[in-house]
Structure 1
Amino acid sequence: MSESLSLGTIIYTAVKPIFKIYLIIASGFILGNKNMLTVETSRNLSDIIISFIFPCLVFTKVVSNLQNSDIKQIGIICLLYILMTLIGGIGGLGCYFLGKPMYWLGGCLSVALMPNISDLPIAYLQTFSTGAVFTEAQGEKGVAYICIFTAVQILFQFNLGLFKLIGYDIDQQKKHDPTKKILNHSEKDVNNISCSKSIQEEDLNDVDSYTSGDEENQNQIDNIVRPLVPTASIQRVASKVSNLSLRKCRSQNVHDIINEYSQAADIGDDVHAVPAVNTELVLVPTHMEPAGNKWKGKIKSLFWFSVDNWRRPVSISLVLSMVVSMIPWVKALFVSTNQAHLPNAPDGLPPLSFIVDFTEYVAQACVPLGLLILGATLARLEVSQLSWKVLRTPLMITGLRLVILPIIGTAIIAGFARYGWFDDDDILRFVSTIVWCLPNATSLIYLTAFYTPLEGSWSQMDQLALTYIIQYPVLSISLPFLTTYCIKVSLDY
């Protein structure tokens, strides 16, 4: 730049995106508290995002902004993520041995390994790139880089099986704590009972006031309302009554998330969890290999496990978009490029530009919906027991994720820059910096709920909830600080 930016301008530009992000998260928080964005609704929306909207985002950003000359940048992204994973894993082990949380080794490592590297940094960058620092074109390319980071994380978390770390904690507690008896569900059950009764009474009144002469409709309503039992959980009640009635009940909490996702009762020696096509987990039978082929069977199983997970829409979208973006004459069918020229359609645009228009239009919903779901999820987190022993590990993890890792990441990136790795690609260096300063991935909540049994006393969700509760207030300070340092010092704007 010909003229350097003032420190005040950079600080304001760094803080401004935080307001947008936190306002959307707060809106989701309110919608979650009002039971307008319920656990079931959030789950359905998450499936839609992962299976449809996010693949559209990946396709439109990669095809529109990357080309075969960007192979080096993609390699840098993969290397940085591997380094971030290794350093985060070592830091997570250190936090575990210093904090000594009970039965939370896998969860502690997962928190250290898996940042929220999708909707949060995209929302931040999209606002940041409309200011005085980066152009909109640079911002679009930065979003494409973030999509590559996200794809690499999905590869590690699901294809390579890092999600199993969370199941390890539950298995260890089952083996070494056979005395576990009762989860403190009494208050939840009372609330559910009273809520169920109020819903039944309200809906029964609706039935009594039903004046239609259609006997068939009357019988359908009777069959829905009257069999409800007072002890049913709010999810089962909600499936049988109107959403308007559900909104009058108490706010759903973390137990409702566990009730919705938990499949722990079905996991055993002959059944194990694998990722579904939408990055959720499903249960499949375990096929035992002959004793003589134990290691060969494990290697073969891991290979096919990894290969099979490339069927997911995100993986397919990434591979397809990379192929299109790396072959100039194929890319010219979708977007204009200076590497190849093909006859345009009658409207003067590339022949398949309507596909990019479609994916770009759909992709616009990805980040707002993701942040709303994040807010609704945060609204349901709670901690049943709070003590220094419980609090110290989440505090150390927060220090690791939002203080130590950004310092280490900035030093590594500065070293890469001295050797000319970034080739004056300021947006790549900026994206590579901010991904070191992100809170936990939201998916860890659902993975923990998946493995958590409905009965018994389990502290894993308490530890995880505390990390989110502590990290998001700290993020509002640490991310703008890192951004300001990167722009003013590292990039010398």
Structure 2
Amino acid sequence: MVQTKLSLGECIYISIKPIIRVYLILATGFLLSKKGLLSPQMTKDVSALVVNALLPCLAFNKIVSYISYKDLQMIGIIVLTSLFIYALGLLGGVGVYFGFKTNPKFFYGLLFCSSCTNISDLTISIMQSEGLSAIFTEDELGKGVSYAVIFMAVQNFMLMNLGLMTVPYYDVKNDNDEQQKKKEQSVESEMEQGTLNNNNDTTTTTVGKSLNDNKEKPESGDITSNDSNEQLEPFDSNNGDNDITSLASSVNSIEVEERANSFQRRRPSIASAIARTFTGHSTATTTGTNRSVENTTDDLVREYSIVSKVRTGDIDLHKPLSIYTDVPTGNAPQAMETEDTTSSNNSSQTSITEDNTANNTKKKDSKPKTKFSFAKWCYSHKLGWLYYILLNFKRPASIATVLGLLCALVPWLRILFVDQSGYHIHQGPDDAPVLSVFMDFTSYVAQASVPLALLLLGGTIAKIDIKTLDFKFLKASIALNLYRLCVMPIIGIAFVNRLVAIGWVETPIQRLSLVITFAVPSATACIYFTALFTPVEGPQVQMACLGSIYVVAYMMFFVTLAVVLTYSIKRDLGY
């Protein structure tokens, strides 16, 4: 396209048009959530659909279509720029925390929110806007989307493969340790009460024996009751012993039943505890507790929180979490087999060997060895971190990115999907590459990924209750967003201009793609991962502080991004 000079008003219009489209989609998701059409469960299901199906198709399609071996340098620049952005965001979070002395229970969440950026749905939506088609061709905009996909792949690698998504958990880790200590103390006290009850049982049994001693050894013959004239059967010593044992057992059973009833009165049942943990509601008959829980519990927290499972040991954060979900809510089965199943098998085998040791040893010698397990080998050689990284490559987005890069960087593979200059291969009857049907499929499915992601973002913002926001944190959130949306774009423009000066960045779409990445707010995933590690019960400090950050961010984002785009188009790109 021939470069033409644009007026300032035209540059402003081109800059605002993609932002207006983003806000219209966000407003639609906001209204759907307020009308109850985007419940937390539906948001979770649709988000899982986007992450596991739509985004992988988008990643594969854009990478194979617009990335080649000639873009290796740009891929390295994207990785370098991502690390630079994370470092800048982390520095800003530390400055806000110590400058405003914010709540210490939101320290790690603040660092997590300030470092992760929304480089997927927002950036891709802006690059796909028709407003930018006035200065860029379709191929150039497609290449810009592919750069955004590489940015997204780098962030997914850091969050999932390196385990940085668990950073918000350290805000509540100390509380979990304290509650674990309290549970241990309560268990000890219950054990002490149990010993006292056992002592009481022994006294009652001695009393029962004394009563039985007074009643035993009657005279043989007919015995007449004092209260009635009924004639009783003659006494038999064997029957008397049976009567005594039955009387003692009945006394003991009564005591056990009374202790069980008192224990149930003192502590809620296991079913009610589980229901309260995972639903946020109590099964008690009183409505006051239910109302209090409903008023203090966020819907997202009730839907996503796994703190109770971490607290009980059902989830080990040091092992890979579930793979095929948008937000992991459990350990991956491959990792659980390393210790849990082996320990259960070992316990069962030891119980068997105690009964038949000789036979089992012979059978073990005769049986072949078990199959090799890479997971067991890694954990036995203290390489669990390597297994953690490798297993997370099984995520659909990671698989699509790796396959896309493999097909894009190898020319003889890429030509099977798209046309490539300098290489020739026999085409199909429609004069298209043989495997172009896969590109059609991924392109068709990927069209729904960004709109659905923005709808979910609007619905998630709607779930932030203004009444529960931490207004003491409001100054800190304003300062953080001023840094992220005003200061970081200035640093980003200077950084990109330096890359242009040294010849690393050449095309206008490369410059604009890098600049936009510096000017977007925090990632939407921060909301989900913070809800993941926020306790269901008690004050939810983390979600209150995070909510204020997002409310302020999307009130400022409209203006700040318009200024950044206008300046970049008019001043840097020379339009």
Pick the TM interval, shorter chain. 0.7 to 0.9
Tell me the equivalent position of 2:384: 301
Q: Is the 1:14–1:128 Cα contact (8 Å) retained in structure 2? A: no
- 2:304 is equivalent to residue 257 of structure 1: no
Q: Is the 2:12–2:562 Cα contact (8 Å) retained in structure 1? A: yes
| CA distance, structure 1, for counterparts of residue 440 and residue 152 of structure 2 | 22
- 2:15 is equivalent to residue 17 of structure 1: no
| CA distance, structure 2, for counterparts of residue 334 and residue 84 of structure 1 | 34
1:280 counterpart letter in structure 2: V
Tell me the equivalent position of 1:42: 43
Q: Is the 2:59–2:149 Cα contact (8 Å) retained in structure 1? A: yes
| CA distance, structure 2, for counterparts of residue 71 and residue 492 of structure 1 | 27
C-alpha change, 1:253 and 1:380, in structure 2 (3 Å) is farther
Q: Is the 1:128–1:134 Cα contact (8 Å) retained in structure 2? A: no
SS at the partner of 1:106?
helix
| Aligned mate of 1:477, from 547, 550, 559 | 559
- 2:539 is equivalent to residue 457 of structure 1: yes
SS at the partner of 1:134?
coil
Tell me the equivalent position of 2:5: 4
How far the C-alpha of 1:383 sits from its partner, in A, is 4.2
Tell me the equivalent position of 2:400: 317
| CA distance, structure 2, for counterparts of residue 111 and residue 360 of structure 1 | 31
Tell me the equivalent position of 1:70: 71
Tell me the equivalent position of 2:309: 266
| CA distance, structure 2, for counterparts of residue 315 and residue 492 of structure 1 | 37
Tell me the equivalent position of 1:97: 98
- 2:422 is equivalent to residue 334 of structure 1: no
Tell me the equivalent position of 1:212: none
| CA distance, structure 1, for counterparts of residue 405 and residue 76 of structure 2 | 13
| CA distance, structure 1, for counterparts of residue 178 and residue 512 of structure 2 | 46
2:112 counterpart letter in structure 1: S
How far the C-alpha of 1:236 sits from its partner, in A, is 7.1
- TM-score, structure 2 normalization: 0.69
| CA distance, structure 1, for counterparts of residue 174 and residue 279 of structure 2 | 30
Correspondence list, 1:90-489, <5 A: 90-102=91-103, 103-128=105-130, 130-174=132-176, 255-268=298-311, 270=313, 271-273=315-317, 274-277=320-323, 278-284=325-331, 300-385=383-468, 388-423=471-506, 425-489=507-571
1:464 counterpart letter in structure 2: L
Tell me the equivalent position of 2:268: none
| CA distance, structure 1, for counterparts of residue 411 and residue 12 of structure 2 | 40
Per mean C-alpha deviation after superposition, the further-off stretch among 88-97 and 272-281 is 272-281
Per mean C-alpha deviation after superposition, the further-off stretch among 454-463 and 355-364 is 454-463
| CA distance, structure 1, for counterparts of residue 107 and residue 382 of structure 2 | 25
| CA distance, structure 1, for counterparts of residue 381 and residue 492 of structure 2 | 35
Q: Is the 1:101–1:393 Cα contact (8 Å) retained in structure 2? A: yes
SS at the partner of 1:492?
coil
| CA distance, structure 1, for counterparts of residue 482 and residue 130 of structure 2 | 25
How far the C-alpha of 1:99 sits from its partner, in A, is 2.2
C-alpha change, 1:97 and 1:174, in structure 2 (3 Å) is farther
Q: Is the 1:329–1:341 Cα contact (8 Å) retained in structure 2? A: no
Q: Is the 2:69–2:410 Cα contact (8 Å) retained in structure 1? A: yes
SS at the partner of 2:330?
strand
Q: Is the 1:310–1:316 Cα contact (8 Å) retained in structure 2? A: yes
How far the C-alpha of 1:169 sits from its partner, in A, is 0.6
C-alpha change, 1:105 and 1:410, in structure 2 (3 Å) is same
2:534 counterpart letter in structure 1: T
Q: How many residues matched?
A: 422
SS at the partner of 1:127?
coil
For residues 388-415 of structure 1, give each alpha carbon's deviation from its aligned partner in whole angstroms, at most 9, with x where no partner exists: 5221221122112111111111111111
Q: Is the 1:253–1:379 Cα contact (8 Å) retained in structure 2? A: no
How far the C-alpha of 1:131 sits from its partner, in A, is 3.2
SS at the partner of 2:561?
helix
| CA distance, structure 2, for counterparts of residue 299 and residue 395 of structure 1 | 44
Q: Is the 1:254–1:381 Cα contact (8 Å) retained in structure 2? A: no
C-alpha change, 1:170 and 1:123, in structure 2 (3 Å) is same
C-alpha change, 1:287 and 1:402, in structure 2 (3 Å) is farther
Q: Is the 2:117–2:521 Cα contact (8 Å) retained in structure 1? A: yes
- TM-score, structure 1 normalization: 0.80
Structure with higher helix content: 2
1:266 counterpart letter in structure 2: K
Aligned CA RMSD, in angstroms, stands at 2.8
| CA distance, structure 2, for counterparts of residue 396 and residue 406 of structure 1 | 15
C-alpha change, 1:272 and 1:383, in structure 2 (3 Å) is farther
Per mean C-alpha deviation after superposition, the further-off stretch among 157-166 and 387-396 is 387-396
1:86 counterpart letter in structure 2: A
| CA distance, structure 1, for counterparts of residue 321 and residue 115 of structure 2 | 18
Q: Is the 1:267–1:283 Cα contact (8 Å) retained in structure 2? A: no
SS at the partner of 2:329?
strand
| CA distance, structure 2, for counterparts of residue 253 and residue 343 of structure 1 | 65
| CA distance, structure 1, for counterparts of residue 3 and residue 458 of structure 2 | 41
1:4 counterpart letter in structure 2: K
C-alpha change, 1:127 and 1:265, in structure 2 (3 Å) is same
2:536 counterpart letter in structure 1: L
C-alpha change, 1:307 and 1:269, in structure 2 (3 Å) is farther
C-alpha change, 1:257 and 1:73, in structure 2 (3 Å) is same
Q: Is the 1:89–1:109 Cα contact (8 Å) retained in structure 2? A: yes
C-alpha change, 1:96 and 1:462, in structure 2 (3 Å) is same
Q: Is the 1:276–1:312 Cα contact (8 Å) retained in structure 2? A: no
Q: Is the 1:263–1:450 Cα contact (8 Å) retained in structure 2? A: yes
How far the C-alpha of 1:162 sits from its partner, in A, is 1.2
Tell me the equivalent position of 1:248: none
How far the C-alpha of 1:275 sits from its partner, in A, is 3.7
How far the C-alpha of 1:339 sits from its partner, in A, is 3.1
How far the C-alpha of 1:177 sits from its partner, in A, is 9.7
Which residues of structure 1 form unaligned runs of 5+?
A: 181-228, 238-250, 289-295
2:386 counterpart letter in structure 1: F
